[in-house]
Amino acid sequence: MTGSFGTVVFSHGKESGPWGSKITAMAAVVRDLGVAVESVDYRGLDDAGARVLKLIGIRPEVTEPLVLVGSSMGGYVAAAAASRLGARGLFLLAPAFYMAGYEEYTPQEVACPTAIVHGWHDDIVPVENSIRWAREHRAALHLLNSDHRLENQIDAICVLLRAFLTALG
C-alpha cells in the first residue's frame, strides 16, 4: 500500500472528537496498511463552513494524495472539501447530506471514488439521504444494522475501509 497515497485524514462528527473509538479503530487499519494518518480536531468549531476551511487548511501538513474519511458532519465536511484538496477517495460514515441548514455543503460534484456506510436505524441523519446521494453519484453504499453512531459495527466498518483503501491502492 505504501506509495499509493500519502495520508488518510479523518474528520469527526459534531458531537465527537478527533480520536473517538471509530477513528481510533480505523486509524489502526490505515497504519497497518503502511499509510500515514491525521485526524483534524474540530471541537469548539460548530460552523460547518469553518470546519471545511480548517480541513482545506491541512494541505501543507500532510503528504498527498489524500483519502478523506468523515463521520456525520465530518462526512459532509470531507465531501465538501474533497475537490479542493484533490482527494483520491472518500469514505463516509452516515454523512449529513441534505440536512436542513447544511444544504450548501452537500457536494454535487465529487470526482473520486466514494463509499458510504450508514445505519438502517439512524435517527439523526435519515438513511434515505445516503441512499439518494449514492444513487445520484454512483457511490458504493453499505447499509448496516445500526444507528447513527455505528458503534456496534466498528469491526465491519474496518473491514469495509480496508477493502476500500486496498482497491484504491
pLDDT digits (tens, 9 = 90+) for 24-58: 999 999 999 999 999 999 999 998 889 999 999 98
Q: Which pLDDT band, with edges at 50, 70 and 90, does 109 fall under?
A: confident
* Residue 18 belongs to some domain of the structure: yes
What is the domain extent for residue 21?
7-168
Domain count, the chain: 1
What pLDDT, on the 0 to 100 scale, is given for residue 2? 46
What pLDDT, on the 0 to 100 scale, is given for residue 113? 97
Considering only the C-alpha atoms of the chain, give the largest distance between any 2 of them, rounded to a whole number of Å. 40
User: Which has the minimum average pLDDT: 76-80, 97-101, 118-122, 152-156?
Assistant: 97-101
Domain CATH for 164: 3.40.50.1820
* Residue 1 belongs to some domain of the structure: no
* Residue 2 belongs to some domain of the structure: no
The cell numbers describing 82, all together, are 474533497
With CA atoms as reference, report the closest residue to 64 among 122, 115, 6: 6
- Give the E-state strand segments of 12-157 in sequence order: 36-40, 66-71, 89-93, 114-119, 140-144
What pLDDT, on the 0 to 100 scale, is given for residue 105? 66
* Residue 96 belongs to some domain of the structure: yes
* Residue 68 belongs to some domain of the structure: yes
* Residue 25 belongs to some domain of the structure: yes
pLDDT tens sequence across 137-163 = 999 999 999 999 999 999 999 999 999
* Residue 31 belongs to some domain of the structure: yes
